[in-house]
Amino acid sequence: MTTTTQLMTADELMKLEGPYRYELIKGELLTMSPPGLEHGVTIIVLGSLLFQHVRANNLGIVCGGDTGFKLNSNPDTVLAPDVAFIARERIDVISEGFHPGPPDLAIEVISPGDRKAYIEQKTALWLSLGAKSVWNVNPKLRTVEVVRAGGERKVFQETDELVDDTVPGFRVPVAEIFN
């Protein structure tokens, strides 16, 4: 006996409604429940800090967690990081629909239910599909792991200053992200 999985397209994903967040990996739908309060606050704080820096220095755009990035076609892969940065020189036009291609920086805030294997898989996927770096933000441990496309990894503790040249000149005390 064989089973057939019905693959979904990015266009079909765009039409989905409901209380969940959705992503596609190679046409397979992933359904995620809404994150908790700590997760949401962390996204807003870090996103605001990044947005202020990017806007003040005309570096590009910062987008929130509802922004989908179409990374592959046939079958389609669409991911939505919690926060993303796209450098100015990579922005042609801001249009409706999913952004074609990856952001320069994908920020994922780790939820209590996220498993390490899932986080590693998603980080590797972002990087293999063109992101320059991924920040895995862990509110529970109060850390930020920066993983770069070349394989370099660095964990920033609460007493450190977060720096990643994917966003030129951006520096912030890690403790500020979690307050």
- Whole-prediction pTM: 0.90
Does residue 84 fall inside a structural domain? yes
Name the nearest CA neighbour of 65 among 26, 100, 20, 25. 20
Q: Could you tell me if residue 2 is inside a domain?
A: no
Instruction: Flag whether 143 is in a domain.
Output: yes
Has residue 131 been placed in a domain? yes
Q: What is the CATH number of the domain that holds 169?
A: 3.90.1570.10
Q: How far from the centroid of its chain's Cα atoms is residue 55's Cα? A: 19
Query: Do the domain assignments include residue 17?
Result: no
pLDDT tens for each residue of 32-73: 887 888 988 999 999 999 999 999 999 999 998 788 899 888
pLDDT digits (tens, 9 = 90+) for 129-149: 999 999 999 999 999 999 999
SS3 167: coil
> Which of the two residues, 130 and 11, has the higher pLDDT score?
130
For 82-108, the pLDDT digits (tens) are 999 999 998 876 778 888 999 999 999
- Per the structure, the complete domain to which residue 154 belongs is given by 36-177
Distance CA 127, CA 129 (A): 5
